[in-house]
Amino acid sequence: MFISIALYLLPPLHLFLYVTATTDYLQRYSPTDLILLNCGASSNLSSPDGRGWDGDSQSKFAASNPPEASSVFEASNQDPSVNQVPYMTARIFHSKFTYTFPVLPGPKFLRLYFYPASYSNLDISTSYFSLSANNYDLLNNFSASLTVSAIRPPVDYFTKEFIMTVWDNQKLEFVKISTVLKMPKLTFIPSPASFAFINGIEIVSMPDSFYARGDDNPLTYVGSDVFFYLYNTTALETVYRLNVGGQDISSTGDTGMYRTWHQDSEYLFRQSGNTPYLPGVKIKYTTKTPAYSAPVMVYSTMRSMGREPRVNMNYNLTWIIPVDAGFHYLLRLHFCEFRMEFKSVNQQVFLIFINNQTAEYDADVIHMSGGNGIPVYKDYIVLVPQGSQSKQDLWLELLPNMELKPTYADAILNGLEIFKLNTNR
């Protein structure tokens, strides 16, 4: 009797484990590492989004630095639109200063929070510094004051976001390798006769192979006949993350990685197209495009060209985005066709041009994703060459490809992420 009962119990348990394993792609991402450091603060405080930030006074993350290497200050005056945490306090670096963070190996978001305000008698416009993280040079002779003054529309504060990989040190470990903590170093180096500062530091882990995928998934290299291989030895700097056709999405509205998504209207060229919205749209995530890829709010809003085929054949859906010249960029385009009349392949086919070069000749969202309401994203690499100006406009254009005789003359986009590539030393 005991044996027969045991055999009877095994199948339901096995089925439970199978269902749990195969539905992971429907869940938000749960970060293995999440560090929030409120620089210059002496106690732990919460930001308006409810997240708890650790004060860095006497912090174990900064224990190796001499006391005279830095000072802490409060902003002399803080605009009401600026959150108290983490922007009210700053750590000022008078000489080289290193934070050391214990984290698990793997890719991480590194977010740096800056409020270039007045701190005591310091002239923030004279602050220039460099920043390195392990083998990556992330900032060089950087000025937060110049950066904030160049942002449009104007802001008083900003965040710099990087993606970098923390490596296993490959030493013989006497514990399970997945539990070994690594110690990435974040080093601020003031320029000569200057100083560095920071208001907040955030480190958040992400799924492996989410952006860099190496040999397993070569990327389209726009304007070239060869593929581009993006390895995790390359750091990425987030330049733009846009909820196309939708509203801003705060970090807590993201899918576990605390990314911020902004409206795209600032970057549209001339005709803005339509922004159809169907309340109650069910987004069907897949193992190829898991729920953490982008929030439902990204995939349930879009920008399309509209319902008039004659009009659509006479313009391109176009975004113009200023970027630094002389770098490679990764563009991730998010698509989800949720309008009920689009259910089959070849109903809507369009071209994708990046900087006047063909990135995709026959983009068909239903074909790429597998059906209506199913999200998908496509990655492209493009080189923005050096020019006479340090900034250049990166053009993204969509237009119907009527040579393939689709049912509708239309093109759509739901989301756009742009990253600058920075190969490590």
pLDDT of residue 396: 98
CA angle 197, 200, 202 (to 5 degrees): 130
What CATH number should be reported for the domain whose range is 34-205? Answer: 2.60.120.430
Count CB-CB contacts under 10 A for residue 96. 14
Element (H, E) at 188: strand 185-190
Count CB-CB contacts under 10 A for residue 93. 24
Tell me the two tokens of residue 116.
Answer: 């270039």
Domain boundaries, the chain: 34-205, 214-423
For 399-425, b/e burial (b = at least 16 CB within 10 A) is bbbeeeebebbbbbbbbbbbbbbbebe
Residue 366's Cβ-side half-sphere holds a number of Cα atoms within 13 Å equal to 16
User: Domain 214-423, what fold?
Assistant: Jelly Rolls (2.60.120)
pLDDT of residue 57: 87
How far is Cα 372 from Cα 411, in angstroms, rounded to an integer?
15
How far is Cα 260 from Cα 206, in angstroms, rounded to an integer?
15
pLDDT of residue 180: 55
- Spans of the chain below 70 pLDDT: 1-22, 169-182, 423-425
Tell me the two tokens of residue 303.
Answer: 């920008």
How far is Cα 407 from Cα 347, in angstroms, rounded to an integer?
4
Spatial contact of 243 and 300, defined as CB atoms under 8 Å apart: no
Strand partners, 352: 360, 398
The length of the chain is: 425
Note the helical H segments in 113-235: 144-150
pLDDT of residue 22: 59
Give the DSSP letter of residue 40: T
Spatial contact of 251 and 260, defined as CB atoms under 8 Å apart: yes
HEC-encoded secondary structure of 208-225: CCCCCCHHHCCEEECCCC
Note the helical H segments in 214-314: 296-299, 309-312
Residue 179 buriedness (CB in 10 A; 0-12 / 13-18 / 19+): exposed
Which runs of E-coded beta strand occur in 212-365? Answer: 219-221, 227-228, 234-243, 262-263, 303-304, 317-324, 327-335, 350-354, 357-363
pLDDT of residue 172: 22
CA angle 144, 418, 204 (to 5 degrees): 70
Measured CA to CA in angstroms, residue 376 lies from 243, 317, 365, 371, 402 at distances of: 14, 19, 8, 10, 23
How far is Cα 72 from Cα 38, in angstroms, rounded to an integer?
11
Torsion of CA 64, 69, 74, 76, to 10 degrees: -160
Q: Do domains 34-205 and 214-423 have the same CATH topology?
A: yes
Residue 2 buriedness (CB in 10 A; 0-12 / 13-18 / 19+): exposed
Nearest CA to 198 out of 113, 280, 132, 258 is that of: 113
The model's pTM: 0.91
Sign of torsion over alpha carbons 349, 353, 354, 360: positive
